Amino acid sequence: MVFLDETWVKTNMAPLRGWGPRGQRLVACVPHGHWRTLTFIAALRHDRVEAPWVLDGPINGESFRLYVERILVPTLRAGDVVVLDNLGSHKQVSVRRQIRKAGAHLFYLPAYSPDLNPIEQVVAKLKHLLRKAEPRTIETAWRTIGELLDQVAPAECANYLKNSGYGAV
């Protein structure tokens, strides 16, 4: 099974919480002003995060089609099951055609069911660690995402699938 999802990443991300001395307010720096929004998209298998891609700007139908054609499809094998949520750009005929041409099957999750997509857990951890790293440029964000993805162990990937109810991996 290959679970796919995308999320936003911003160059103004900062930790949401922190620790400070008891009875004293925590003082932290949070950026304001101009920042950039990126889109991160990847696939999760039982043993790895595969086909990561960072896009400068929001995802749309054309960029998703390009991702599937050039990044995802070369990683697919005959018999793979690609699981997507119900985002409109995921339902293009050309996307379906490319995935099926690779010998893979396509499955859409029910609407509003992020708990059934284990890559959501990867994204949550990635965003937490990105907030901690505080990347302020696009290049730093790309580099940091790559370094964080290299740290995802095969056992961790299997645990994400089990935690979402896919126990027999």
Structure-token match 């499955």, residue found:
107
- Our CA dihedral for 14, 87, 112, 134, rounded to 10 degrees, sits at -10
Is residue 113 in some structural domain?
yes
Is residue 169 in some structural domain?
no
Is residue 152 in some structural domain?
yes
Contacts of residue 141, defined as CB under 8 A and 6 or more positions apart, other chains included, come to: 9, 11, 38, 54, 130, 135
Residue 21 to residue 12: CA distance in whole angstroms = 25
Is residue 130 in some structural domain?
yes
pTM score, whole prediction: 0.89
Determine the pLDDT at residue 168: 65
**Amino acid in position 117:** N
Is residue 66 in some structural domain?
yes
Q: For 41-74, what is each residue's pLDDT tens digit?
A: 999 999 999 999 999 999 999 999 999 999 999 9
Q: Nearest to residue 79, comparing CAs of 165, 155, 154, 2?
A: 2
**How many structural domains comprise the chain?**
1
CATH code at position 28: 3.30.420.10
Provide the residue range defining the domain that includes 48: 2-164
